[in-house]
Chains A and B, each alone.
Chain A
Amino acid sequence: MEQKTIYASDISEAVESLCVSAAFDLPEDVQASLERARQREASELGRWALDKIAANTTIAHEERMPLCQDTGLVLVFVELGQDVRIVDGRLDDAIQKGVAKAYKDAYLRKSLVDEPLFERVNTQDNTPAIIHYRVVAGNELKITLMPKGGGSENMSALAMLKPAQGIEAVKDFVYNTVVNAGGNPCPPTIVGVGIGGNSEYALELSKIALARPAGQSNPNEAYAELEKELLERINASGIGPQGFGGTTTALAVHIEYFPTHIAMLPVGVSLNCHVARHKQVVL
């Protein structure tokens, strides 16, 4: 494979533009999914909420305003082709620089504090982004960016189940996590589920699941079936849009799985609010 040179400044620019677009432009897959929900929602208050959400999508796009004031903590998945050579700067710095510039110049909210416990002083530029790196074959650099708000992220959960508890315990844990979250994570949500790996990787998988286009099934048929079953059960809970009661609590359930230890059955759940921001670029 021929080596490719990528300039750090081009990475910064790409990340900046992903941040801005994520804040203003709801992904089309999420828009389509919300529109389908609006057509079939049984609750009047639920439809009221979905109408407001649709109007908001248009205003944010046209006025170049953030869809949600919480423009999130920026989560970045990097797939770095091993034949890529980055010049004129470090990859990590380039990404952080792009985030900082976007949040300053596009009037996005700076929502990060420098340490969690004592002073909690705002970092003023919404950095640091949290970045996960994977080195892959090829000479491309793929960046997936998911700014995620605090309201939905606070509802994340992890269970280290016993293999003997099996599939029913997995279903109950996912269902209970969504139901206990109620109206807090801004439903209708997208439910990301990571099964397998270990504790931290199960949660990472649940985030990777959220990056998938809304409603795209897992290619494994058994897991796709489980996604469908969980979605039906979650939407029968009655929580509904914003927790007001209704038939749309989630737009989709996305499951990712990974090999795990003979003693383990880890399950991570992450909820994304209806402002399910995910943007991607390949350099």
Chain B
Amino acid sequence: MSDIIKLTEPFSPEAFSGLHMGDMVEITGTIYTARDAAHKRLIDALEARQGLPFEIAGSIIYYAGPSPAKPGSPIGSCGPTTSGRMDAYTPALLDAGLIGMVGKGPRSHEVIEAMKKHGAVYFAAVGGAAALTAQSIFEAEIVAYEDLGPEAIRRLKVINYPCMVAIDPSGHNIYEEGPRRFAQ
């Protein structure tokens, strides 16, 4: 397996341009959690030409809804949720400046085309390994939609968050190419 590539804030399409499908990476910096209900609100805000609750340009969204933090912990278990449910919302967010997504599972053709246009990357974390991934989250703060509970948008400070380049900026897609390699 190739060496682990360290990705550190600030994130940019230039910094992502050398990433390839299957690369192992560790992310250090600020990322934002958002999933189903939060995405709907973000898109409603874009359509109403209102500001978004965080700077979307150059940002990474983590599709996650953590379990509650125990006293003394910044966060509970926090693994990725199924990314495909956000596909309908994602091209508009990529147009607005989003450049990275962390989640699990395949993406739609429309999302991949929008990623190619903007030089964005889709990272896969291991679904269900949520106690492990919580070990690389050091701060968590709700920045919007607190009423959504686990679906609120949280600003996370992560250090060496482990994931893999699932779809790279040129559109190479592990969910297509990986299974093809092993199909008997």
Contact = CB atoms under 8 A, between A and B. Distances in A.
Nearest to A47: B1
B53 interface: no
Interface stretch (A4-12, A158-166, A243-251, A256-264): A243-251
Contacts of A70: 65, 79, 81, 130
Contacts of B68: 107-109
A115 interface: no
Interface string A252-283: 00000000000000000000011100000000
Contacts of A66: 67, 76-77, 130-131
Residue among B24, B131, B134, B166 having the largest count of chain A Cβ atoms under 10 Å: B131
Interface in A38-64: 42-45, 48-49, 52-53, 55-56, 59-60, 63
Contact of A151 (B81, B178, B184): B81
A111 B77 CA distance: 14
Contact of B182 (A49, A109, A238, A273): A238
Interface in A137-168: 150-151, 154
A275 B166 CA distance: 22
Contact of B177 (A49, A108, A245, A247): A245
Interface in B55-83: 64-70, 76-79, 81-82
A243 B166 CA distance: 10
Contacts of B64: 69
B48 interface: no
A59 B135 contact: yes
A56 to B, nearest CB: 4
A45 B179 contact: no
A151 B134 CA distance: 19
B150 A49 contact: no
Given A245-B178, A245-B181, A186 B128 contact: yes
Contacts of A43: 178, 181-182
Nearest to A104: B68
Given A45-B22, A45-B164, A66-B67, A184 B105 contact: yes
Given A52-B129, A59-B131, A238 B70 contact: no
Interface in A62-111: 63, 65-71, 107-111
Residue among B67, B78, B104, B183 having the largest count of chain A Cβ atoms under 10 Å: B67
Interface string A106-126: 011111000000001010100
A171 B183 CA distance: 18
Contact of A184 (B24, B84, B149, B184): B84
Contact of A109 (B70, B76, B127, B174): B76
A218 B174 CA distance: 35
A121 to B, nearest CB: 9
A26 to B, nearest CB: 10
Question: For this complex, into which size category does the number of interface residues on chain A fall?
Answer: 35 or more
A187 to B, nearest CB: 9
A243 B105 CA distance: 7
A71 B79 CA distance: 11
Given A60-B77, A66-B67, A107-B70, A243 B183 contact: no
Contacts of B104: 151, 183-184, 186, 242
Given A243-B174, A244-B174, 7 more contacts: A69-B150, A109-B150, A151-B127, A186-B104, A238-B183, A239-B179, A244-B166
18 contacts: A42-B182, A60-B131, A66-B131, A68-B77, A68-B130, A69-B77, A109-B65, A109-B67, A110-B149, A110-B150, A122-B150, A124-B149, A182-B105, A184-B82, A238-B179, A243-B106, A245-B174, A273-B127
Interface of A: 42-45, 48-49, 52-53, 55-56, 59-60, 63, 65-71, 107-111, 120, 122, 124, 150-151, 154, 182-184, 186, 236-240, 242-247, 273-275
